[in-house]
Chains A and B, each alone.
Chain A
Amino acid sequence: MQLLTKNKLLTGIFAVLGVAGIAAWAYQLAGGLGVTGMSNANSWGLYIAMFMFFVGLSAGGLIVASSASVFHITEYKKVAMPAIILSTVCICCAGAFVLIDLGGIQRIWHLFASPNASSPLVWDICVITLYLFINVLYLHFMHKGAERAVSVLSRFALPTAVLVHSVTAWIFGLQIAKEGWFSAIMAPIFVASAMDSGLALLLIVLIVLNAAKLFETPKKLIASLAGLLATCIAIDGFLIFCEVITMAYPGAEGAATLAVMVSGPTAPFFWAEVVGGLLVPFLMLVFAKNRQNTALVTVASVLVVAGVLCKRLWLLLTAFVIPNIVGAPGIMSDAWMMGGSYAPTAIEFLIVLGVPSLGALAFMAIGSKLLVPAMAKEHAPARSSAAADLDLEAQVA
């Protein structure tokens, strides 16, 4: 528990936020989802946005770690351990948000007793469970130093990671009811933004661990990961542009939805992402010299993570702004109103802060168990890491 005891202040803050989050959830269970800002008109809110966000954040870790084996990128292996711990914690946070969003969690056993195979939500629950299982198994094999098993597992881990993001995208992208979601590009966009936000979070964590002298990442590797991040940002930006131009060009229904995004209620999130989360960090990281500068990489990574959070919000909420039938019974808020609106409540904010705080505590606890000994081992014998890597490659081949 070295990580937890060494940073008492941080541990304390996370613990307080975590307890507050749990208390808020208990309050929500007692009062119903009515304690949130959600309504029939805007039936999904912050929780589902955070679910998408954390599924995405989980990507970076597993993709970087498994690419190390699948594509023989030896240097990535060094950060595989923190990467997978991060990925495991984030996917648990994502799962927690789905459960928190359920209005009838006491009846959840029906999900296992009579699952509907055509529901994207069922697919997602299966894939996320599989993904979590692979993460835990990966940690287990790495901890035991079973290199062969890690390399075999990573061949399954990589496609599963891509699948997790695609299936999460299909929860939204397959809904013909929502103009803002119904698009084939949804899955690629989810994979791309999962890659950039996940990588950015991994970089932040590695830099923090470096600064705290708890886990050492070579500067060259940080620069290399930052280069990969720049590529992912570019791909994400390109896919968003494809979607936007397809919405705009016919000047029909899509254009009305686009107007909500670029100049309507969700516009602040859209522009914050496009400028702050894509353009600025890309311009920072596209120059090789900047990637050597840890401070700049940190700023760019924070911007990317914040940008993707904004993206989850505009992606989710834009679809609720214009109903297909104004005033339909499922959007009424009172007898005279024809529509509704959404603003999260304090309870939602407490829960949204609480879940990642518990996640951070979990990361610190697992990190103390798995990272600190790994560091100690690396420093003790005089065996060079390059030689060790060569050894591993020989085994894989």
Chain B
Amino acid sequence: MTKLGMAISLDRCIGCQTCANACKMQNSVPMGMQWNRVVTEGCDVMDDAHGTYPDLSRTYLPIACQHCENPACLKVCPTGATYKDDKGRVEIDYDNCIGCRMCMAACPYNARSFNWEDPVRDPDFKYGDKDVPVRTKGMVEKCTLCKERTDRDQEPMCVKCCPTKARVFGDLDDPKSAVSQLIREKRAGVLLEEKGTKPQVHYFD
């Protein structure tokens, strides 16, 4: 079996948002929406610092769909629009989505976005990968682990574009893959482990 996943070095991440923009371009993500985002931890606004001067720190957390092994979103989807594919990715069959937003309530990571209105793209054309399907009003969407690219044996765009090489992508079921080795050696952890969702995106320092 293949179980695609990722390991992200929080030490290497400099909060440049390149992955966020690469994702938006690749997947034709409309205005006002991001599938992937680099969050400034412990702050109310982006790029703030936490602590009191002079004891300040600023840390970043890149976050998108965690492609959980035990996905809370999948269980609650009434139509089966959300599914786990044979490569271990959590995907959405957009045509099956009735827009009930049950999955958004169920996802502990708030990884999902809804098309509240007709999506607006600026510039006004479908930018991005030609194989990425267009989503319309009333559909939920999220990171697909660059399904179209990974199907062609390419890395997800966020991995490819990261200037500090903070992201490593691969098969978690293959113990010899770079990502599996990193997770083992760096004792990488997952977000909100206590929720039991078993994310396939791991983080290490």
Asked whether any CB of chain A lies closer than 8 Å to the CB of B161, the reply is no
Pick the most buried of B95, B100, B111: most chain A CB atoms within 10 A of its CB: B100
Contact, CB under 8 Å: B109 / A176: no
From the candidates B96, B110, B115, name the one contacting A331 in the complex (CB within 8 A). Answer: B110
Interface residues on chain B, size class: 35 or more
Cα(A324)–Cα(B193), bound, Å: 12
Which of B3-11, B29-37, B144-152, B171-179 contacts the other chain?
Answer: B29-37
- Which A111-128 residues have C-beta < 8 A from chain B? 111, 113-116, 118-122, 125
Chain B residues with Cβ below 8 Å from A390 are none
Which chain A residue lies CB-closest to B140?
A: A103
Q: Mark B182-199, 1 if CB is under 8 A from A, else 0.
A: 000000000110011100
A-B residue pair count with CB separations less than 8 angstroms: 187
Contact with A along B28-53 (1 / 0, CB 8 A): 00001111110110111110000000
Taken together as a complex, chains A and B put the C-alpha atoms of A32 and B116 apart, in Å, by: 6
Residue of B nearest to A114 (CB): B80
Q: Of B35, B61, B98, B142, which contacts A104 at CB under 8 A?
A: B98
For the complex, give the distance between the alpha carbons of A103 and B116 in Å: 8
- A sample of 12 cross-chain residue pairs with beta-carbon separation below 8 angstroms, ordered by A number, consists of A43-B104, A103-B98, A103-B116, A104-B97, A107-B138, A121-B102, A319-B105, A324-B109, A326-B44, A327-B37, A330-B111, A331-B110
Binds A, one of B70-78, B121-129, B162-170: B70-78
Kindly list the 5 A-B residue pairs having the minimum CB-CB distance in the complex, ordered from nearest: A103-B99, A103-B138, A34-B117, A330-B110, A104-B99
Which residues of chain A have a CB within 8 Å of any CB of chain B? 31-34, 36, 38-41, 43-44, 98, 101-108, 110-111, 113-116, 118-122, 125, 171-172, 174-178, 319, 323-339
Q: B63, A338: Cβ atoms under 8 Å?
A: no
Say whether B77 contacts A328, CB under 8 Å: no
Contact in complex: A177, B105 (CB < 8 Å): yes
Provided the pairs A119-B102, A323-B110, A336-B45 are in contact, do residues A329 and B37 lie with their beta carbons within 8 angstroms? yes
Q: Which of A121, A176, A324, A329 is the most central at the interface, judged by chain B CB atoms within 10 Å of its CB?
A: A329
When C-beta atoms are compared, the residue in chain B nearest to A330 turns out to be B110
Q: Which residues does chain A contribute within 8 Å of B108, judged by CB atoms?
A: 176-177, 324
| Contact of A324 with B192 at beta-carbon distance under 8 Å, contacts A118-B75, A119-B75, A120-B76 already known | yes
- Interface assignment of B79: CB less than 8 Å from any CB of chain A: yes
Q: Does B18 contact A (CB under 8 A)?
A: no
CB <8 Å contact, B36 and A177: no
Across the interface, which residues of B come within 8 angstroms of A332, CB to CB? 33-34, 37
Q: Are A33 and B99 in contact (CB under 8 A)?
A: yes
Contact at A330–B109, with CB atoms within 8 Å? yes
